[in-house]
Amino acid sequence: MKKVNRVLLTNDDGIDAPGLELLAKAAQEIAEEVWIVAPAQDKSGVANSLSMREPVRVINKGPRRFAVYGTPADCVAYAVHQAMLDSPPDLVLSGVNNGSNLGFETLLSGTVGAAMTGMLSGIPSIALSQNRDPDQPVNWDSATRYLVPTLQHLLQASWDRQVCLNVNFPDMAADRVKGIRVTKQGMGNVDGMMVIATPDPHGEDYFWIRVQHGGLERPENSELKLNDEGYISVTPLTFERTEMKEYQRLGGLYGQDF
């Protein structure tokens, strides 16, 4: 397979995260030139937010490597419109995230948000995540084994520029992985949120905001269902989030024709 010319890597776990190091090694096999522009600190859960009301500071960490005091979307924006302006990337890869981005999680994910920002810039973009048991150390085995072949398959297939791809590696030993399946987003296993109060040394409360997981429906071809069954899930995502049945039903109440 012919290598792409330039690839931009980012994530939401931070520039020193092990998943980004794993991605950087894989990128050497599919690209002639690898750039890393990633958050200086963990920015999980910020979706595709941009720092609109505050400056973004950037630290040069070496050749083609930058740490950004901002969001993953800021990283892609800075890379495409500043650091790589003279020759933009041919591909944006975001991850490999420490944990899944399945279903509703994709709406919160900075990993997916970075890929969305690459898509907005007209660049083929892929978000990559390693599913895990939140109560256990992350097992990178399936991502380590299948990251390069998965990227090679996807790059040969190509996809619409108004779409980015969301890839999740299953939480299991690599020899148990069954293959790749194209999937639908679905709801996943998030069924709410919780806010946990914790007192500080002065007796004042501060708060941890967390998503709540539960047993939700797993429709056929949903990414959560197939990922749990041992497949690498690949979901095409876009900005369009209109629910068409409700669009038509509500529009009918106001006499709109469709």
Domains of the chain: 4-186+217-253 (3.40.1210.10)
Three state DSSP letters for 63-130 = CCEEEEECCHHHHHHHHHHHHCCCCCCCEEEEEEEECCCCCCHHHHCHHHHHHHHHHHCCCCEEEEEE
Q: How confident is the model at residue 187 (pLDDT cuts 50, 70, 90)?
A: confident
Known binding-site residues equal 12-13, 44, 97
Known binding-site residues for a divalent metal cation equal 12-13, 44, 97
Q: Is the pLDDT of residue 193 over 90?
A: no
Q: What is the pTM of this model?
A: 0.94
pLDDT score for 19: 98
Q: Express each pLDDT in 122-145 by its tens digit.
A: 999 999 999 999 889 999 999 999
